[in-house]
Amino acid sequence: MDIGWSELARYLGGAFALYLVLEGVLPFLNPAAAQRLMAKLSQADTKQLRWGGLISMVAGLALLWMARNG
């Protein structure tokens, strides 16, 4: 697959914009729940946060691969 830098930038910009939309859904719909979630996350162990981040990245890459190839 051969794409130019401008097309890559457009894809990445679109992906980042979608990320921002999805991140804003919970605080918009239920701000109290978002505050409780952030309070719990601030108390979480660093190791737990790292594992959660790793699992999220792997799941995202798997979904992206399935969307592109399947």
Dihedral sign for Cα atoms in the order 20, 26, 29, 31: negative
Does the structure show a pLDDT above 80 at 38?
A: yes
Average pLDDT over residues 24-38: 96
pTM, to two decimals: 0.68
Averaged pLDDT score across all residues of the chain: 92
The confidence score (pLDDT) of residue 1 equals 61
Q: Are 37 and 26 in contact (CB under 8 A)?
A: yes
Q: In this predicted structure, what is the pLDDT of residue 65?
A: 86
Say what the pLDDT of residue 5 is: 87
Is a pLDDT exceeding 70 seen at residue 31?
Answer: yes
